[in-house]
């Protein structure tokens, strides 16, 4: 080999400061095409990312090759969302070369923060569901599990949120504008995906009835691969995202006719499939494009999975032993009909054999019980867009209902609830029922949510298939959410218990005994204070507001939704404001209320609540009579990067959803792990957090899910009575309704007041208000005693070991997927063992 080439090769792998520095300079010149004097921060980001990517590629290929050689069973995580955030610090940290990189940049006169801050945030998801998928990718790679992520490479991620006069305004998120150094385009990995057309019946070679889908439009799915670096850099998995490409024939047909505009229009239309992420995580848009997106990425992924399987196998009997496909919510559930189509129509399997294989291959995770979020597509639309799939769904349904008829002894009401088709009104395909029926396992994401699934949405299915539903409580990756986001705390932890916790979070339990160590408490507080200073500076930059570092940082960060009850929090804020004004001589514990989160653009009530919080902030923050003891800030454009700054700085974690409505929550875990005390209802994973941290170290309030259910069954309650009997609540609502916070438009908040009164207060804000205030008061009292507060905060951090997503994916691996870690063989390179 040419010596120069060889030395470059060694350079590519070198992990020391000199080697990194030399490759930065080489990349800057030869790939980014810039001179060091002219390079911008963004150029340096691209340079560093490309150099880091070099260090991953060999190991990535080794990993892929090992899976191939062992013909390992793979798990395919199909998700319409991956909320990844930035990757540079993540990759450096998982490779163990953050310090080396910092020094190399230092020698070039550059600051690491400037470089990492130039990376756009990959926001290919809405909230918890998408972030869970990203945490799972990190955990699968870190556990050495052969896991692939499959999704869509949206050109525009979740919208950018800005405030104009306190109102949310959406702007396009152009994360790919300057290119994406992490991905590898694979123009050769291309699959056709069809839409529309019609189905033809014919006789196959043995005279059996068979079907083919003809006259359909075609779009191509092109792969982009991103390496997923596991902790320690041993396993590098793959996230494959699909981008839509127009087929050539499609274009040329029109060009030849001279219809240039039309050709371009067709191209744009088909490529719209991967243009934008639907910004709705709770309400269904009913848009055909969304349905087509779901089919687009699912079909491409399944074709890819079968191609990989067929490299080693000639029959499909072994598919369930070689591939586990996890459906992240119902978005990819059409995959069940698609796999049936591929097996029966394209590979000529018998129906029953194909169904056995399909069911044994798929598993489905449910992420919400909200009825409006359960996907149900109009039969007429499915028939038009995917005519063959509609037939297949009818066939699955007919066979299933026939068998169930005997078992349910003709209980027609039950049969119609089990049906894949909702026959009421405009007929619809129930994607949840399809996902359930076509999967061998179905799971919820917290113990409470799984129980409620059995009692509510899937009660009938649970009766039919009592072994199918199981629980997999969510988790979070400690790499991103503690090690990277909170260096101050993670260094402190490592100084006392070593670094084992990073890959085995249960080890963090060893910190429990440190809660009684006064020196440790002091250092723990110092770490928190450092993070609070960082957040205060961020708040000042983002909002212009100066907040006191020594105030309680009371944090509610999550998507804006009525069931999450940001409204309850802002009502408490107004009540506290009044108390402070009424009692100016009391020495108040200063409080900073910190909100962040986006509302779906079409969700008017949620947007109105954002405006209310901003209006309240304007009044409170400029009222000299509260002496800066209360500040309210709404940070714009919440995303993974903002979360990494906010969460380590929180004292209080607000997890205050109406009990029974939050499937799990994962922000609750991130905040507790970073030493925030939770104020929460017994909802989602809060229940399990309480069990782990102990009831003395969490502030629980409000109605339980059972109480909520009983209340609803018994016909509700009278919110007006509750309001009338609680003077502080009444006063807060009166202020809002008389325009104290909206002098320019006194009626602005009538819809909110209306919903709380005439509307029956569906989310039980008024019902839980008094108990919520009690919990807030208890937290403020505790904060007066810093030693006791810190003790509890430490116990929170120390008790969160079980909530690692490593634990979660290991449970999936053992109990659902039956996949096992594979140790890749690496040729000698610069990596530490
Ligand atoms: C969300 C739930 C959260 C849960 C995440 C991840 C959807 C549809 N569901 O409570 O609301 O933590 O999923 O499971 O986004």
Instruction: Tell me the CA–centroid distance for residue 129 and ligand 1, in Å.
Output: 5
Q: Is the beta carbon of 369 within 6 A of some atom in ligand 1?
A: no
Short-list 686, 621, 626, 614, CA closest to 656: 686
3-state secondary structure of 454: helix
pLDDT in tens, 155-186: 999 999 999 999 999 999 999 999 999 999 99
pLDDT at 255: 64
Q: How far is CA 85 from CA 123, 127, 358, in A?
A: 6, 12, 33
Active site residues: 367, 558-559, 564, 666, 670
Instruction: Tell me the CA–centroid distance for residue 653 and ligand 1, in Å.
Output: 17
Q: What atom in ligand 1 is closest to the CA of residue 666?
A: 12
Q: Is the beta carbon of 432 within 6 A of some atom in ligand 1?
A: no
Residue range 524-539: mean pLDDT, rounded: 98
Q: Is the beta carbon of 368 within 6 A of some atom in ligand 1?
A: yes
Q: Is the beta carbon of 132 within 6 A of some atom in ligand 1?
A: yes
Which long-range contacts (C-beta less than 8 Å, at least 24 apart) are formed by 339-347? Answer: 339/302, 340/392, 340/396, 341/213, 341/388, 341/389, 341/392, 342/302, 342/303, 342/306, 343/316, 344/392, 345/210, 345/211, 345/212, 345/213, 345/388, 347/316
pLDDT at 652: 98
Pocket probe mutation, ligand 1, options 125, 129, 705, max atoms within 8 Å of Cβ: 129
CA-CA distance, 348 to 241, in Å (whole number)?
29
3-state secondary structure of 811: helix
* pLDDT for 828 beyond 70: no
Short-list 559, 447, 750, 540, CA closest to 159: 559
Residue range 291-301: mean pLDDT, rounded: 97
Q: Is the beta carbon of 664 within 6 A of some atom in ligand 1?
A: yes
Q: Are 53 and 181 in contact (CB under 8 A)?
A: yes
Q: Is the beta carbon of 665 within 6 A of some atom in ligand 1?
A: yes
Q: How confident is the model at residue 6 (pLDDT cuts 50, 70, 90)?
A: low
Q: Is the beta carbon of 698 within 6 A of some atom in ligand 1?
A: no
Instruction: Tell me the CA–centroid distance for residue 669 and ligand 1, in Å.
Output: 13
Short-list 511, 556, 509, CA closest to 668: 556
Instruction: Tell me the CA–centroid distance for residue 474 and ligand 1, in Å.
Output: 9
Q: Are strands 428-430 and 376-378 parallel, antiparallel or unpaired?
A: antiparallel
Instruction: Tell me the CA–centroid distance for residue 569 and ligand 1, in Å.
Output: 21
Instruction: Tell me the CA–centroid distance for residue 126 and ligand 1, in Å.
Output: 10
pLDDT in tens, 80-121: 999 999 999 999 999 999 999 999 999 999 999 999 999 999
pLDDT at 9: 60
More confident residue, 405 or 80: 80
Q: Is the beta carbon of 181 within 6 A of some atom in ligand 1?
A: no
Joined together, the tokens standing for residue 395 give 């066939």
Residue range 501-516: mean pLDDT, rounded: 98
Q: Is the beta carbon of 666 within 6 A of some atom in ligand 1?
A: yes
Nearest CA to ligand 1 atom 9: 367
Q: What's the DSSP call for residue 512?
A: G
Strand partners, 633: 594
Q: Are 369 and 457 in contact (CB under 8 A)?
A: yes
Q: How far is CA 720 from CA 605, 609, 724, in A?
A: 20, 20, 6
Nearest CA to ligand 1 atom 6: 129
Instruction: Tell me the CA–centroid distance for residue 665 and ligand 1, in Å.
Output: 6
Return the number of other C-beta atoms located less than 10 Å from residue 471's C-beta.
Answer: 18
* pLDDT for 783 beyond 80: yes
Instruction: Tell me the CA–centroid distance for residue 316 and ligand 1, in Å.
Output: 34
pLDDT at 249: 59
Q: Is the beta carbon of 646 within 6 A of some atom in ligand 1?
A: no
Joined together, the tokens standing for residue 736 give 């809002």
Cα dihedral: 73, 809, 599, 701 (round 10): 160
CA-CA distance, 796 to 659, in Å (whole number)?
22
Q: Is the beta carbon of 662 within 6 A of some atom in ligand 1?
A: yes
Joined together, the tokens standing for residue 663 give 């499937």
Report phi then psi at 45, rounded to 5: -60, -50
Q: Is the beta carbon of 768 within 6 A of some atom in ligand 1?
A: no
3-state secondary structure of 682: coil
Instruction: Tell me the CA–centroid distance for residue 666 and ligand 1, in Å.
Output: 8
More confident residue, 37 or 407: 37
pLDDT in tens, 702-718: 999 999 999 999 988 99
Residue range 188-195: mean pLDDT, rounded: 97
Instruction: Tell me the CA–centroid distance for residue 495 and ligand 1, in Å.
Output: 35
Q: What atom in ligand 1 is closest to the CA of residue 126?
A: 15
pLDDT at 740: 98
Question: In the chain, pLDDT over 70 holds for what percent of residues?
Answer: 96
Joined together, the tokens standing for residue 564 give 């999450």
Instruction: Tell me the CA–centroid distance for residue 819 and ligand 1, in Å.
Output: 25
Short-list 223, 461, 211, CA closest to 341: 211
Nearest CA to ligand 1 atom 13: 129
Q: Is the beta carbon of 663 within 6 A of some atom in ligand 1?
A: yes
Helix axis angle, 387-407 relative to 351-361, nearest 10°? 90
pLDDT in tens, 203-258: 988 898 999 999 999 999 999 999 999 999 999 999 999 999 998 655 566 666 67
Instruction: Tell me the CA–centroid distance for residue 130 and ligand 1, in Å.
Output: 9
Q: Is the beta carbon of 374 within 6 A of some atom in ligand 1?
A: no
Q: Is the beta carbon of 127 within 6 A of some atom in ligand 1?
A: yes
Q: What atom in ligand 1 is closest to the CA of residue 663?
A: 10
Instruction: Tell me the CA–centroid distance for residue 282 and ligand 1, in Å.
Output: 9
Q: What atom in ligand 1 is closest to the CA of residue 329?
A: 8
Q: Is the beta carbon of 365 within 6 A of some atom in ligand 1?
A: no
Residue range 39-56: mean pLDDT, rounded: 96
Q: What's the DSSP call for residue 703?
A: -
Q: What atom in ligand 1 is closest to the CA of residue 365?
A: 14
SS3 content of the chain, % helix, strand, coil (to 5): 55, 15, 30
CA-CA distance, 483 to 475, in Å (whole number)?
15
Cα dihedral: 755, 759, 762, 767 (round 10): 80
Residue range 358-386: mean pLDDT, rounded: 95
CA-CA distance, 236 to 435, in Å (whole number)?
30
CA-CA distance, 545 to 77, in Å (whole number)?
42
Instruction: Tell me the CA–centroid distance for residue 712 and ligand 1, in Å.
Output: 23
pLDDT at 11: 67
Nearest CA to ligand 1 atom 3: 665
* pLDDT for 284 beyond 80: no
Pocket probe mutation, ligand 1, options 80, 128, 133, max atoms within 8 Å of Cβ: 128
Mean residue pLDDT across the chain: 95
Question: In the chain, pLDDT over 90 holds for what percent of residues?
Answer: 90
Q: How far is CA 374 from CA 369, 432, 531, in A?
A: 8, 7, 39
Q: Which residues contact 710 (CB under 8 A, 6 or more apart)?
A: none
Q: Is the beta carbon of 128 within 6 A of some atom in ligand 1?
A: yes
Q: What atom in ligand 1 is closest to the CA of residue 373?
A: 8
Rg over CA atoms, the chain = 28
Q: Is the beta carbon of 651 within 6 A of some atom in ligand 1?
A: no
Q: What atom in ligand 1 is closest to the CA of residue 474?
A: 14
Pocket probe mutation, ligand 1, options 83, 373, 431, 445, max atoms within 8 Å of Cβ: 445
Q: What atom in ligand 1 is closest to the CA of residue 128?
A: 5
* pLDDT for 641 beyond 70: yes
Q: How confident is the model at residue 1 (pLDDT cuts 50, 70, 90)?
A: very low
Q: Is the beta carbon of 134 within 6 A of some atom in ligand 1?
A: no
Q: Is the beta carbon of 133 within 6 A of some atom in ligand 1?
A: no
Q: What atom in ligand 1 is closest to the CA of residue 665?
A: 12
Nearest CA to ligand 1 atom 15: 129
Q: What atom in ligand 1 is closest to the CA of residue 449?
A: 10
């Amino acid at each position: 080999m040419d010596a120069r080439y060889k030395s470059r090769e060694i350079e590519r792998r070198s992990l020391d400061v000199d080697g990194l520095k030399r490759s930065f300079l080489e990349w800057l010149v030869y790939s980014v095409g810039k001179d060091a004097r002219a390079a911008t921060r963004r150029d340096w980001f691209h340079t560093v990312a490309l150099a880091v990517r070099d260090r991953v590629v060999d190991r990535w290929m080794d990993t892929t090759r090992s899976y191939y050689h062992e013909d390992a069973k793979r798990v395919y995580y199909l998700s319409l969302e991956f909320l990844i955030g930035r990757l540079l610090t993540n990759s450096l940290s998982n490779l163990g070369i953050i310090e080396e990189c910092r020094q190399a940049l230092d020698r070039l006169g550059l600051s690491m923060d400037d470089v990492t801050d130039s990376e756009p945030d990959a926001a290919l998801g809405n909230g918890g569901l998408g972030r869970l998928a990203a945490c799972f990718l990190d955990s699968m790679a870190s556990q050495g599990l052969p896991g692939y992520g499959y999704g869509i490479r949206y050109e525009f991620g979740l919208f950018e949120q800005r405030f104009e006069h306190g109102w949310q305004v959406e702007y396009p998120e152009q994360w790919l504008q300057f290119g994406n150094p992490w991905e590898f385009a694979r123009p050769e990995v291309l699959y056709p995906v069809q839409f529309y057309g019609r189905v033809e019946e014919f006789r196959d070679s043995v005279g059996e009835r068979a079907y083919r889908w003809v006259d359909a439009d075609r779009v191509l799915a092109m792969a982009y691969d991103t390496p997923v670096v596991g902790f320690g850099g041993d396993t590098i998995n793959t996230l494959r995202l699909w981008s839509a490409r127009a087929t050539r024939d499609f274009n040329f047909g029109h060009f030849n006719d001279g219809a240039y505009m039309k050709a371009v229009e067709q191209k744009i239309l088909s490529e719209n499939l991967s243009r934008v992420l639907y910004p709705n995580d709770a309400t269904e848009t009913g848009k055909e494009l969304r349905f087509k997106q779901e089919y687009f990425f699912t079909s491409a992924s399944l074709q890819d999975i079968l191609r990989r399987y067929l490299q080693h196998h000639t029959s499909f009997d072994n598919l369930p032993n070689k591939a586990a496909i996890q459906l992240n919510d119902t978005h990819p559930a059409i995959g069940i009909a698609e796999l049936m189509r591929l097996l029966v129509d394209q590979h000529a399997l018998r129906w029953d054999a194909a169904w056995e294989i399909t069911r044994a291959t798929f598993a489905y995770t449910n992420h919400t019980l909200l009825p409006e979020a359960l996907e149900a597509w109009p039969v007429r639309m499915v028939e038009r867009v995917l005519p063959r799939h509609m037939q297949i769904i009818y066939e699955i349904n007919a066979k299933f209902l026939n068998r169930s008829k005997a078992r349910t002894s003709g209980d027609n009401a039950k049969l119609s609830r089990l049906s894949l088709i909702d026959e009421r009104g405009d007929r619809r395909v129930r994607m949840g029922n399809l996902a359930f029926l076509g999967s061998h396992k179905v799971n919820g994401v917290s113990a409470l949510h799984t129980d409620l699934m059995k009692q509510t949405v899937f009660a009938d299915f649970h009766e039919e298939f009592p072994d199918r539903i199981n629980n997999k409580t969510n988790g979070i990756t400690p790499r991103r959410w503690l090690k990277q986001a909170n260096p101050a705390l993670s260094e402190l932890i490592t100084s006392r218990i070593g670094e084992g916790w990073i890959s085995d979070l249960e080890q963090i339990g060893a910190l429990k005994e440190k809660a009684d160590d006064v020196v440790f408490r002091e250092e723990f507080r110092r770490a928190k204070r450092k993070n609070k200073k960082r957040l205060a500076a961020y708040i000042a930059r983002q909002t212009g507001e100066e907040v006191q570092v020594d105030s309680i940082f009371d944090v509610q960060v999550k998507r804006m939704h009525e069931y999450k009850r940001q409204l309850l929090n802002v009502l408490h804020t107004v009540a506290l404001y009044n108390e402070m004004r009424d009692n100016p001589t009391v020495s108040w514990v200063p409080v900073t209320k910190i909100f962040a989160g986006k509302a779906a653009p079409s969700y008017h009530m949620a947007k109105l609540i954002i405006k209310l919080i901003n209006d309240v902030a304007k009044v409170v923050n400029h009222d000299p009579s509260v002496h800066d003891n209360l500040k309210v800030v709404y940070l714009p454009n919440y995303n993974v990067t903002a979360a990494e700054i906010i969460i380590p700085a929180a004292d209080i974690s607000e997890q205050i959803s109406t009990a029974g409505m939050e499937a799990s929550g994962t922000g609750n875990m991130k905040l507790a792990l970073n030493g925030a005390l939770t104020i929460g209802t017994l909802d989602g994973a809060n229940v399990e957090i309480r069990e782990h941290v102990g009831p003395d170290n969490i502030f629980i309030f409000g109605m339980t899910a059972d109480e909520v259910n009983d209340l609803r069954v018994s016909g509700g309650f009278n919110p007006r009575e509750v309001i009338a009997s609680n003077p502080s609540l009444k006063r807060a609502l009166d202020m809002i309704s008389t325009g104290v916070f909206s002098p320019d438009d006194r009626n602005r908040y009538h819809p909110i007041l209306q919903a709380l009164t005439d509307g029956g207060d569906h989310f039980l804000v008024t019902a839980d208000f008094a108990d919520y205030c009690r919990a807030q008061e208890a937290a403020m009292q505790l904060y007066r005693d810093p030693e006791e507060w810190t003790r509890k905060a430490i116990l929170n951090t120390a008790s969160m070991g079980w909530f690692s997503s490593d634990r979660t994916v290991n449970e999936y691996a053992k109990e659902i997927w039956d996949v096992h870690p594979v140790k890749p063989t690496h040729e000698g390179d610069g990596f530490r063992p």
